[in-house]
């Protein structure tokens, strides 16, 4: 079979690029493009001993005054005291500025 037909070559090249782009488009969907307003609010116990009110943390690592708002993973408030956390366990929820989990890391 002879492949000297330029339009056939363009078609095959375009189809190959389209197929290659599908996984990339899906990855983009999973890579943090979720809008904050679409995310549910984390519930106590979501992960890593998380609680929405740090004063209710019943954990040996908790120290008074620690809360999401002052954590290195805190990505900033979105609305009404809720915001995103950069820790992988919390990418699909909003956390409370007054919350806490056992991975709390003070901002440097
Ligand atoms: Fe809050 Fe834990 Fe996220 Fe820090 S890592 S912002 S303490 S949920």
User: Can you tell me which atom of ligand 1 is nearest the CA of 75?
Assistant: 6
The ranges assigned to domains in the chain are 33-96
Between 30-44, 68-82, 94-108, the lowest mean confidence (pLDDT) is in 30-44
Q: Which of 92, 78, 86 is nearest to 104 (CA)?
A: 86
Cα dist. 77→68, 80, 93 in Å?
10, 8, 13
**Single pTM value for the model:** 0.71
Atom of ligand 1 nearest to the CA of 42: 8
Band the pLDDT of 14: cuts 50, 70, 90.
Answer: low
Is 85 exposed, middle or buried, given 0-12, 13-18 or 19+ CB atoms closer than 10 A?
A: buried
Decide if 66 contacts 104 (C-beta within 8 A): yes
pLDDT at 69: 98
Under CATH, to which class is 33-96 assigned? few secondary structures
Beta-sheet strand order (sheet of 95-96): 74-79, 82-85, 95-96
- State the distance from the centre of ligand 1 to the C-alpha of 12, rounded, in angstroms: 48
The C-alpha atoms of residue 37 and residue 54 are separated, in whole angstroms, by 23
């Amino acid at each position: 079979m002879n492949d000297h037909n330029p339009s056939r070559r363009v078609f095959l090249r375009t189809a190959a690029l389209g197929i290659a782009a599908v996984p990339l488009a899906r990855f983009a969907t999973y890579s943090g493009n979720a809008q904050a307003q679409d995310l549910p609010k984390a519930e106590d116990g979501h992960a890593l001993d998380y609680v929405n009110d740090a004063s209710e943390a019943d954990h040996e690592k908790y120290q008074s005054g620690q809360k999401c708002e002052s954590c290195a993973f805190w990505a900033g408030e979105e609305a009404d005291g809720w915001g995103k956390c950069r820790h992988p366990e919390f990418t699909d929820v909003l956390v409370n500025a007054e919350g806490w989990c056992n991975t709390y890391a003070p901002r440097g």
